Structure 1
Amino acid sequence: MTDLHPISDRAWMRLTLLVIAAFLLLRLAALLLSGFELTYDEAQYWAWSRHLAFGYFTKPGLIAWLIRGTTEICGDGVACVRAPAPILHAAAAWFVFLAARRLYDARIAFWSALAYAAMPAVSLSSLILNTDGPLLFFWCVGLHATVLFLEKPSLSRAAYLAATVAIGLNAKYAMIYLPASLLAYVLATADKRPLLRSGSTWVALLGGLAGFLPNLIWNAQNGFVTFHHTGDNAGWEKIGFKVGKIVEYLVGQSVIPGPILFIVVVLAAILGWRSTKPTADRLLMWLSLPILIVIGVNAAFAKLHGNWAATAFPALIIFASALLCKGRWYGFLKLSAAINIVAAVALAVGASLVGHVPLPERPRQLHRLLHWSDYGDKLAAAARAAGVHTVVTVGRPMTSETLYELRDSGLDVRPYLTPGAAPADQFEMTIPYQPAAHGPALLVTEVDPATLGIAPERIEQLGALDTRIYKAEGGRMPIYRIDR
């Protein structure tokens, strides 16, 4: 059926910007109103941002630089630490629009941008800062750069793509999938293979690797700890095929964009469905399906990391939107958008109510985002009462949260590293507690100090903090005084 009143490209653009702005304002408001405190990963990234570097124990350095930028503007409050998340996802949605408009048209581009902004995974990731936010932003910019380059190859467009990949690699190493997928697409597409004879193509494919250099130098200076951690995290030291993990992986991936869009792409891949522009479809499938397959293999044989395939979804949702924009399937696209929008609004409103309405005791995992400021106040008071200036923690979660909560207390927070043990995180590597240098301290831990190798004559239990953080069994967290 022909549309008697077609919407102009400019109108689609304005509508897209309006929708993106609405999502951004909703999520920023939720961050400002919410009583959810920082997760220990977020607190860790904040602590990194106090000491800027090109790398850290588990990740490249970009996320710390982003947090430092926002906190320099609006302070160290929770909302300000998390502010990059919704801003980056809003900007990513715009680049999804730009890429989809080049590949198809403005109508499909609008639905693609809406699909991205309303994806359940994006709705959650916009309210909790993690490295996927910066990664997906640069991936979407890189997707736009890829489309421009393939449309009209030139050195300037190659440099655009290379620069995007270079910066994105400092968000997360998974950015490397973009030039790798592009190379696979060019090799597999007969009319694109001549591009391999052009210098600009190799700038586009390999130029971004320059982004590895700052982090590579940092790793060389620090025993390549990030590379070792990434390799360990993949879990290939214990290989074994697990059918159940494949099912779990596929179910998890379907939640990221919403089940309708995911099922459409899976069926399209199996049944060979295409839109009116099969060349564009082919590109998007090469920029999404190989990533899903590679991470799926890792899930089947080693560890399951559902978010490792996140970069597949910008291209995937554009492809799905193009397929569903056909007349008879249009209703499914609208239904998917409606479901995801309702979920996004519900999540934002729910988050904004935390701290203003009573919350259930369960699930217990809720406590991971609550009560840390209360813990910090009581811990600071206990340290002063004990007459010490150093607080010692055990494990990355407790160290991260304690560093953040005691940031203005004047107390020195340091992790305990068992003598002879290798550091297991950034803090154990850079600021471990050393009795001779740091003197008496207050130790806070839920584990038995005897297991830490502390001589009994050096430690005295002072009682326990009454706190409801998730580490506190029965609402009480033991505290001890350590002497030299």
Structure 2
Amino acid sequence: MQKNAPRAKTPDPIWTGVAVIAALTLYRVVMLRLSTAELFVDESQYWQWGQDLAWGYYSKPPLIGWVLRAFSELSGSDNAFWVRLPGALFHAATALLLMGAAREVTDRRAAMMVGVSYATLPVVAVGALLISTDTILMPFFAGALWLYLTLVRRPSGARALALGLCLGLGMLAKYAAIYFVIGAGLGAALLPAARITWRDAALATAAFLAVIAPNIVWNLQNDLTTLSHTADNVDWVRRPGVHLNPQGALEFLAAQFMVMGPVLFGAYLLTAVRALTRPDWQGRWLVWMSAPTLALVTLQALLSKAYANWAVTACVAALLLVVPVLWHRARMWLWVGLTLNLAVSVFLPYAATQATSWTRASDGRLLMRRYVGEGAMSARILDEARRQGVTAVVSGNRLLLADLFMAAKGSGIEIFAVPVPEHPPHFYAQEHPYPAERPGPFLFATLGDEPPCPGPLPVATWKPGPGIYAPNTLSLYLREGTCWPAAGN
């Protein structure tokens, strides 16, 4: 009788997940290199922050500026590809960290699917194309969740310090990292099995406070600028009384079906309800790590407004909860959800390569005009400044200023914002107002604002080409610095 041949060793599912995430990331990087979409105002502003490293900035904590500065220094380039490259890489890192975290709550194959599911989320597909503070936050949030789960199983001073470090770096990326503290606090209060030791909690807290302390000091030294801008976004202070916005709340919740994909978010809602009635603490803990974030941001949308990405950190625990359930009990639906999300993940990077080509059939306007036209506009403004023999351009328009600062780097032409004596309306007015002591003329660029003082008619006026400024008329005025006697005071 012939002996049976030895069975071939099946590949480790974790390495299969790593390969899938790596392949999708490589595709994103290649398509990002071919993208014709220019930087949007927020992305240009984040790059500008990195030119002057600080412990805080006008509207966000500092980590995104530091990251973009690091990529700029390493690459020797400031073009859109290098500014956006961290997006694809940080999301890949988050997916890998989630696979590790998933091993604390499920088997290796389901853990693989958690990582792949994150990498294919629609919100991740967007985040890999456009750099944002959410993208910088996510790997630290995922890492903190993994560390917390390991600390519940086995106390460790080193891991507790690492947990505090992750949360601190997350807070330096975006203050939404506080949702972790809220969720973990609720989970620990309601689920004794989900508590870490007092020593580990103290060590994590100490590390967390040590990391964020410089940003707190910076805010105190700068009139709580970042915190006050966050309050402006929340928009409660300027809207006294109760003004409910039920439509906004419904729109926010509907948008979550696009953030996670319709199948995964729908399945999460069902799984979360059922998990609360199950005896295992891990499922209930993951509900507390995700549902309160969604509830708080929905409440914010009801009271004022909220953007779809404001609850993106909920995706981390939500995937750890729902994907293993779908893998073991409703695998067909998981494959349907992944297929839909993967289609979006493949389509969006390709669409970015067609930003200057795809138009609407109704009026011929570019579909992605928001990301086209900035560079041409800035180049023409700087050319006119050279023709007029001036070495400074001033504007009150944040969109113009954001791209002008990038375009003017190394040109010998300085860029300034219109000085605002009261609370500055944006970063450029805060950090780069036109100085009162500067001699000589300047060029004032406007898409409709009146020039800072009376004077001659514009030296140049034109209708921008296809892109973000297409509906507007840009005017350039030659003015003397003496027309701003109070500037910089």
TM-score by length of 1: 0.92
What aligned pairs does 1:6-21 form with structure 2 within 5 A after superposition? 11-21=12-22
Per-residue CA deviation, residues 336-359 of structure 1 (Å, 9 max, x unaligned), is 01111111101112212334x454
The alpha-carbon deviation at position 273 of structure 1 amounts to 7.6
Equivalent residue, structure 1, for 2:441:
440
Equivalent residue, structure 2, for 1:478:
475
The alpha-carbon deviation at position 409 of structure 1 amounts to 2.2
Higher helix share: 1
- Which of 259, 262, 275 aligns to 2:262? It is 259
Whole-Å Cα distance in 2 between the matches of residues 289 and 23 of structure 1? 29
The alpha-carbon deviation at position 102 of structure 1 amounts to 1.9
Instruction: Look up the equivalent residue of 2:159 and give its one-letter code.
Output: R
Taking structure 1 as reference, are residues 252 and 426 closer, same or farther at Cα in structure 2, changes over 3 Å only?
same
Taking structure 1 as reference, are residues 298 and 167 closer, same or farther at Cα in structure 2, changes over 3 Å only?
same
Whole-Å Cα distance in 2 between the matches of residues 410 and 96 of structure 1? 47
Per-residue CA deviation, residues 245-271 of structure 1 (Å, 9 max, x unaligned), is 221011011111101111111122334
Equivalent residue, structure 2, for 1:312:
314
Is 1:350 the equivalent of 2:351? yes
Equivalent residue, structure 1, for 2:74:
73
Whole-Å Cα distance in 1 between the matches of residues 308 and 429 of structure 2? 28
Query: Does the CA contact (< 8 Å) of 1:50 and 1:68 recur in 2?
Result: yes
Whole-Å Cα distance in 1 between the matches of residues 122 and 8 of structure 2? 30
Whole-Å Cα distance in 2 between the matches of residues 149 and 438 of structure 1? 62
Whole-Å Cα distance in 1 between the matches of residues 328 and 39 of structure 2? 43
Is 1:389 the equivalent of 2:391? yes
Instruction: Look up the equivalent residue of 1:114 and give its one-letter code.
Output: V
Moved more, 182-191 or 112-121: 182-191
Query: Does the CA contact (< 8 Å) of 1:465 and 1:479 recur in 2?
Result: no
Whole-Å Cα distance in 1 between the matches of residues 467 and 391 of structure 2? 25
The alpha-carbon deviation at position 206 of structure 1 amounts to 5.5
Is 1:183 the equivalent of 2:181? no
What aligned pairs does 1:5-404 form with structure 2 within 5 A after superposition? 11-74=12-75, 75-192=77-194, 195=196, 198-205=198-205, 207-237=207-237, 238=239, 239-272=242-275, 278-327=280-329, 329-355=330-356, 357=357, 359-360=359-360, 366-404=368-406
Instruction: Look up the equivalent residue of 1:446 and give its one-letter code.
Output: L
Equivalent residue, structure 1, for 2:453:
455
Taking structure 1 as reference, are residues 362 and 408 closer, same or farther at Cα in structure 2, changes over 3 Å only?
farther
Whole-Å Cα distance in 2 between the matches of residues 166 and 29 of structure 1? 32
Instruction: Look up the equivalent residue of 2:226 and give its one-letter code.
Output: T
The alpha-carbon deviation at position 45 of structure 1 amounts to 0.7
Whole-Å Cα distance in 2 between the matches of residues 471 and 371 of structure 1? 6
Instruction: Look up the equivalent residue of 1:80 and give its one-letter code.
Output: W
Query: Does the CA contact (< 8 Å) of 2:276 and 2:284 recur in 1?
Result: no
Whole-Å Cα distance in 2 between the matches of residues 205 and 220 of structure 1? 21
Query: Does the CA contact (< 8 Å) of 2:267 and 2:322 recur in 1?
Result: yes
The alpha-carbon deviation at position 149 of structure 1 amounts to 1.1
What secondary structure, in the 3-state scheme, does the structure 1 residue paired with 2:39 have? Answer: coil
Query: Does the CA contact (< 8 Å) of 1:371 and 1:468 recur in 2?
Result: yes
Instruction: Look up the equivalent residue of 1:229 and give its one-letter code.
Output: H
Aligned-pair Cα RMSD in Å = 2.2
Moved more, 51-60 or 466-475: 466-475
Query: Does the CA contact (< 8 Å) of 2:458 and 2:477 recur in 1?
Result: yes
Query: Does the CA contact (< 8 Å) of 1:182 and 1:205 recur in 2?
Result: no
Per-residue CA deviation, residues 379-416 of structure 1 (Å, 9 max, x unaligned), is 11100111100011113222111111222322101111
Whole-Å Cα distance in 2 between the matches of residues 159 and 61 of structure 1? 21
Instruction: Look up the equivalent residue of 1:36 and give its one-letter code.
Output: A
Whole-Å Cα distance in 2 between the matches of residues 250 and 35 of structure 1? 32
What secondary structure, in the 3-state scheme, does the structure 2 residue paired with 1:102 have? Answer: coil
Q: Which runs of 5+ in 2 are unaligned?
A: 1-6, 483-489
The alpha-carbon deviation at position 431 of structure 1 amounts to 1.3
Taking structure 1 as reference, are residues 22 and 421 closer, same or farther at Cα in structure 2, changes over 3 Å only?
same
Query: Does the CA contact (< 8 Å) of 2:355 and 2:372 recur in 1?
Result: no
Moved more, 339-348 or 184-193: 184-193
Whole-Å Cα distance in 1 between the matches of residues 67 and 341 of structure 2? 28
Whole-Å Cα distance in 1 between the matches of residues 348 and 471 of structure 2? 29
Query: Does the CA contact (< 8 Å) of 2:371 and 2:468 recur in 1?
Result: no
Per-residue CA deviation, residues 90-125 of structure 1 (Å, 9 max, x unaligned), is 000000100001211111111111110000000011
Query: Does the CA contact (< 8 Å) of 2:397 and 2:447 recur in 1?
Result: no
What secondary structure, in the 3-state scheme, does the structure 1 residue paired with 2:476 have? Answer: strand
The alpha-carbon deviation at position 142 of structure 1 amounts to 1.1
The alpha-carbon deviation at position 474 of structure 1 amounts to 4.3
Per-residue CA deviation, residues 264-304 of structure 1 (Å, 9 max, x unaligned), is 111223345888x9332122111111111111111111222
The alpha-carbon deviation at position 366 of structure 1 amounts to 2.3
The alpha-carbon deviation at position 442 of structure 1 amounts to 0.6
Taking structure 1 as reference, are residues 272 and 46 closer, same or farther at Cα in structure 2, changes over 3 Å only?
closer
Paired residues in the alignment total 469
Query: Does the CA contact (< 8 Å) of 1:463 and 1:480 recur in 2?
Result: yes
Whole-Å Cα distance in 1 between the matches of residues 297 and 472 of structure 2? 39
Whole-Å Cα distance in 2 between the matches of residues 362 and 65 of structure 1? 40
Query: Does the CA contact (< 8 Å) of 2:64 and 2:133 recur in 1?
Result: yes
How high is the sequence identity, in percent, across the aligned residues?
28
Q: Which runs of 5+ in 1 are unaligned?
A: none
Taking structure 1 as reference, are residues 73 and 372 closer, same or farther at Cα in structure 2, changes over 3 Å only?
same
The alpha-carbon deviation at position 435 of structure 1 amounts to 4.8
Query: Does the CA contact (< 8 Å) of 1:268 and 1:274 recur in 2?
Result: no
Whole-Å Cα distance in 2 between the matches of residues 402 and 387 of structure 1? 17
Whole-Å Cα distance in 1 between the matches of residues 209 and 230 of structure 2? 18
The alpha-carbon deviation at position 473 of structure 1 amounts to 5.7
- Which of 391, 406, 410 aligns to 2:408? It is 406
Query: Does the CA contact (< 8 Å) of 2:14 and 2:108 recur in 1?
Result: yes
Instruction: Look up the equivalent residue of 1:270 and give its one-letter code.
Output: V
The alpha-carbon deviation at position 482 of structure 1 amounts to 1.2
Query: Does the CA contact (< 8 Å) of 2:375 and 2:403 recur in 1?
Result: no
Whole-Å Cα distance in 2 between the matches of residues 280 and 443 of structure 1? 59
What secondary structure, in the 3-state scheme, does the structure 1 residue paired with 2:419 have? Answer: coil
